[in-house]
Chain A
Amino acid sequence: MSNSIVHYASITKKITMSIIGLFLAIFLLIHLSINLLLLSSDGGKSFAAAADFMGTNIFIQIFEKVLFLAFILHILLGIFLWWYNQSARPIKYVKPNVSTTSSGSKFMIHTGVIVFIFLILHFLNFYLVKIGVVNVPEGAASQHDFYTMAQMLFGNVFYSVVYIISFIALGIHLNHAIQSGFQSLGLEHSKYTNFIKGLSTVYAILIVIGFSIIPIYFLIAA
């Protein structure tokens, strides 16, 4: 694998990374909008309806496969680039670099790893339950009763803290990632650069807050 990846130009890899990344960012927004339905006071009816739609619509089913592929590529490419970039400076500086950099840009691999770990947890708790690999937790009506599963998980303070921390990491990741994706694609213009950077930050904050209020809501409710 690595040989064929090496074969592609560095910029090709960056462009691939950014296209996938921006795609994943759009997915996040969809995911968030569905999750926010958890907050509606109808006992999870609208959330269940949305989940049901996501679980059965044929278009979404195809989209899901693409999404998995994107995740895998994004992660593998990210790890590969990190490894490759490390090797471009075999001997490190004694005095660590103190240049000003785009915030979070130096920690993409770190925040990425945190998000990845969370992703595994998330799969164990939801996706693998859905497809029947992991047993339905006690208390949930069926393997599709995500509302109850979420309610139970978020009732756990420890899980909620892990959840929020993961999203803060994702926020840091996104804050750099969105504008970086535009830069890699060459979508840059002095008139719009600041807007894109702002958008990047606003988006990151939106994701962090949007996802984090859900466990907070459930904690308070519990």
Chain B
Amino acid sequence: MDLTLKIWRQANAQAKGKMVDYKVSNISPDSSFFEMLDILNQQIIEKGDDPVAFDHDCREGICGTCSLYINGRPHGPESGITTCQLHMRRFKDGDTIFVEPWRAKAFPIIKDLIVNRGAFDEIIQAGGYVSIGTGGTPDANAIPIPKYDSDKAMDAAACIGCGACVATCKNASAMLFVAAKVSQFAYLPQGKVEAKRRVQAMVAKMDELGFGNCSNTYACEQECPKEISVSNIAKMNREFLSAKLCGQTQE
């Protein structure tokens, strides 16, 4: 396959970036999108130029490191996968492919296609945990949890923190990410104890970091590589409302 790539290049956080055109040829349809970029980078290195920087690590769709906004969609044209699982057979010979970084005020660019998603860590630090230390925990079977709740919690917990929800949201909102965590704990008895404090703290942090509001466009659900449902957002809204109406004031 021969392809034209239009890739966002930006030397560092301060520099001004621009789209740069590249051509790659003889790409096997069986190669992954990143392998195609590897080939491109090999070409660039041979010329002595700076290769395109992009985030990637496990290359099997679970670590959440990879990003890339490909032809107007985070993680490219196929649903339910990350960019590292995208294969070139999804494109046609002669295609022009736009590759851009995640765009959000809360995700500043580090270089080229790499953004800083530290904001997600900060949100988790605000309350995305059960406040227990190591040891002294009751037997794992001491509290039965209905399978339905446990499965729902697992659905939400599948989030890999890649940021596709923010990238695709017209408001760069992080609601699906935050909701997934809030919802996971809201389904489990272990998380209920501090549920009211958690949801308020995490939402406050999310707002503080400059993510937009949720407009319920549900684009996030469409683009989530783990297909996390927006029903988690409704659940978080519910949790939030109940925390505000009948929770204790925050410390």
Give chain A's interface residues, CB within 8 Å of chain B. Answer: 9-15, 81, 84-85, 87-102, 105-106, 108, 176, 179-180, 182-188, 190, 193
Give chain B's interface residues, CB within 8 Å of chain A. Answer: 6, 8, 19, 69, 71-74, 98, 100, 103-106, 168, 170-173, 175, 200, 203-204, 206-207, 210-219, 222-223, 230-231, 233-241, 244
Nearest first, the 8 closest Cβ-Cβ pairs linking A and B are: A186-B238, A88-B212, A188-B234, A85-B171, A186-B237, A105-B217, A98-B72, A85-B212
Bound Cα distance from A90 to B172, whole angstroms: 10
Cβ contact within 8 Å between B105 and A90:
yes
Bound Cα distance from A108 to B214, whole angstroms: 12
B246 to chain A, nearest CB (A): 14
A84 to chain B, nearest CB (A): 7
Q: Known: A89-B212, A106-B170. Contact between A101 and B222, CB under 8 A? A: yes
Interface centre among A10, A11, A12 (most CB of B within 10 A): A11
Cβ contact within 8 Å between A10 and B218:
no
Q: Which of A95, A108, A188 contacts B72 (CB 8 A)?
A: A95
B25 to chain A, nearest CB (A): 22
Q: Known: A89-B212, A93-B103, A186-B234. Contact between A101 and B218, CB under 8 A? A: yes
Q: Which of B72, B203, B223, B231 contacts A11 (CB 8 A)?
A: B203
- Residues of A contacting B204 with CB < 8 Å? 9
Cβ contact within 8 Å between B218 and A105:
yes
Cβ contact within 8 Å between A183 and B207:
no
- Residues of B contacting A108 with CB < 8 Å? 215
Cβ contact within 8 Å between A88 and B173:
yes
12 additional contacts, CB 8 Å, given A88-B105, A93-B69, A184-B216?
A10-B206, A11-B214, A15-B241, A85-B213, A89-B103, A89-B170, A93-B100, A94-B6, A94-B19, A97-B219, A102-B216, A105-B217
